[in-house]
Structure 1
């Protein structure tokens, strides 16, 4: 998949997620094999006004590269100004958010709301492309609702505007995150695309990522919610794509180790107070399914000293060692796919290029 000077075969990409894909999580996902990472989505209006919290989202370290900055807004003027500011932080490329379904974004005429105004969407894209030297990509959904799926028209308009790649989530805005992503529309868009197409939606395991490549023909796969508490999904997917062999699910040792690394990075970038507090939302996913996890989680979310949090996690790892010796910890089904064995056998037996 080529975007500007980048040329990566079958990249596995971390999706932009508000309050998730900060520097700490991006770097953790890179350690575990993410090929490209995205910032949290950045408000064009807040960026042009110099809001410090927003500007901080653009800061990154060399270890995060390749890195994309994603911006959202509802006017040509604000998006052009924000793009020029974002370019100063030297990401590998800029991405335009045409897909966020939340009231905070779509409710203000940005994100997925622009699916109802494809001409305006194209005008924003063309203006941003002309305003910066960096490659520009976009991320969107298949339509506003199921009565107005217009992704093929949107794709053509964005290609004509100079967008160099499109990430496509297989839901409409009205779906929000309910139901199943429609990979069929992603495959249809790929058949019509003249630019690289990145598939997104409902990738919860390496097996899902493999299936998405096979079913859509996409040039890359983007993983969002499936990476939360599970950064191992990137290395697992790359292992599966390379060898045709499913990776073992991450055990409690790896999951607790990652939680501690995430905590340490969060404290490094946000300071002891906020770095510790903002990690509280992540423990449930890192520890999901482990014995007596609710007791440990309650301790973790009440503790304000990051060193004490780390001690609690290390003590819990020792507890889990005991549970493992007693046979009380098994491989966790949430990291596996019910149809993975059949899928992998078919993949290994075929000559399919994905």
Structure 2
């Protein structure tokens, strides 16, 4: 699949997730088979551009090309300015967030709340596409509510305006993450647009990914929550798509190595104190559903030292592997 001048080396992409897809996680997922990895959404408000939080989100040091920054907001001029600013800071693709269902985002009429105002959606897309010379992509949901799925209309307008690729999550704004994603709307969008289409929502294994690609006609799939705690999912899905062979789960020593790289990167990016706190949720995901994992998760929540956190995390991976065996 191509996005503008960029030819991706696979069909499995990492979804942007607030509080999750920071630089260490993006780099690890790219190493483990993700063909593309977008940043956490960065607010378009210019007053927030130089805050520490925004600077950390935009940190691309050591990140492979193409570097993607997702921007969020409701004002076309602010979003255009944010696109220009982030391209100047090293972004090679700009992604527009019209998919986030979080209340704090939708209260500002941003994220998936925008889907209720199709003229505003068009103005935003036109402003951002005309503001930068890099590809602009769009991530969205199927509509504001189950009785108003307007993704087809928005997708057609997005293609006319010049959006380089479209990611569609198979839920409406009102559904949040409840219930199951539906793909009929995704198929309806595929039938009316020719731009690269990326399927998203409840894609958790290689079989489901292949079904989406073959039956819907998507050019790629995007993995979000299923990558939390198992960033190797990209490699496993891509391997199956290429060979129809299912890989065995990775051995504990590999998981420990990847986890160590990930958590060490978190400590380095955020600093020891904040890094330890940020790492806790990731460690919880690595251990979720593992034998005796809950006990180890509780122990890791109490650790304040970065060195002790890493040491205990390695012990936990080894211990749950022994129990499972």
Q: TM-score band, normalised by the shorter chain?
A: over 0.9
For the pair 1:181 / 2:167, whether they are aligned, the reply is no
Cα contact 1:94–1:134 (8 A) shared by 2: yes
Shift of residue 290, structure 1, vs aligned partner = 2.5
Q: CA contact under 8 A between 2:201 and 2:223: conserved in structure 1?
A: yes
* Contact 2:23/2:63 (8 A) holds in 1: no
- Following superposition, the deviation at residue 223 of structure 1 comes to 0.6
Name the CA shift for 1:228/1:154 in 2 (closer, same or farther; >3 Å). same
Question: Aligned pair in 2 of structure 1 residues 321, 95: CA closer, same or farther (>3 Å)?
Answer: closer
User: Can you list the C-alpha shifts for 1:26-57, whole angstroms capped at 9, x where unaligned?
Assistant: 11111211110000001101566532311331
Listed as ranges, the gaps of 5+ residues in structure 2 are none
Secondary structure in structure 1 of the residue aligned to 2:277: helix
How has the CA–CA distance of structure 1 residues 160 and 47 changed in structure 2, closer, same or farther, with 3 Å as cutoff?
A: farther
Which stretch shifts more, 242-251 or 173-182? Answer: 242-251
Runs of at least 5 residues in structure 1 that lack an aligned partner in the other structure: 330-354
Whether contact under 8 Å (1:33, 1:238) holds in the other structure is yes
Q: Supply the distance in 2 between the matched residues of 1:231 and 1:85 (Cα, whole angstroms).
A: 30
Alignment of 1:1-354 (within 5 A): 1-8=1-8, 10-45=10-45, 49-320=49-320, 322-323=322-323, 328-329=324-325
Contact 1:272 1:305 in 2 (8 A): yes
Cα distance in 2 between the residues matched to 1:8 and 1:315: 37
Q: C-alpha separation between the residues in 1 aligned to 2:239 and 2:60?
A: 27
* In structure 2, C-alpha distance between the alignment counterparts of 1:146 and 1:269, rounded to whole Å: 40
DSSP-derived class of the 1:40 partner: strand
Indicate how the Cα distance of structure 1 residues 48 and 278 shifts in structure 2: closer, same or farther if over 3 A, else same.
closer
**Whole-angstrom distance in 1 between the partners of 2:307 and 2:49:** 37
Cα displacement string for residues 144-197 of structure 1 (whole angstroms, at most 9, x for unaligned residues) = 111111111101111122111111001111111011111121122112112111
What is the deviation of 1:10? Answer: 4.8
The size of the alignment, in residue pairs, is: 325
Residue 239 of structure 1 deviates from its aligned partner by 0.7
Distance 1:220 1:47 in 2: 35
| CA–CA separation in structure 1 for the residues paired with 2:48 and 2:71 | 11
Q: What is the CA–CA distance in structure 2 between the aligned matches of 1:101 and 1:4, rounded to whole Å? A: 28
CA contact (8 A) 2:41 2:97 kept: yes
> In 2, Cα distance between the equivalents of 1:26 and 1:245?
25
Native 8 Å contact 1:199 1:220 kept in 2:
yes
How far apart, CA to CA, are the structure 2 residues paired with 1:290 and 1:11?
Answer: 29
* Alpha-carbon offset, residue 259 of structure 1: 2.2
Alpha-carbon offset, residue 268 of structure 1: 1.6
Quick check: 2:69–2:93 contact (8 Å CA) kept in 1? Answer: yes
Gap change, CA 1:245 and 1:45, over 3 Å in 2: same
Say what the alpha-carbon RMSD is for the aligned residues. Answer: 1.7
Q: What is the DSSP-based 3-state SS (H/G/I as helix, E as strand, rest coil) of the residue aligned with 2:85? A: helix
Counterpart Cα distance in 2 of 1:63 and 1:50? 21
The TM-score with structure 2 as length reference comes to: 0.95
Indicate conservation of the 8 Å contact 1:230/1:286, yes or no: yes
Larger mean Cα displacement after TM superposition, 240-249 or 17-26:
240-249
Larger-Rg structure: 1
Q: TM-score, normalised by structure 1?
A: 0.87
- 1:71-111 per-residue CA deviation (whole Å, 9 max, x = no partner) reads 01111121111111111122221011111111111121111
- DSSP-derived class of the 1:172 partner: coil
Deviations 1:94-150 (A, max 9, x none): 011111111111121111111111111011110111111111111101111111111
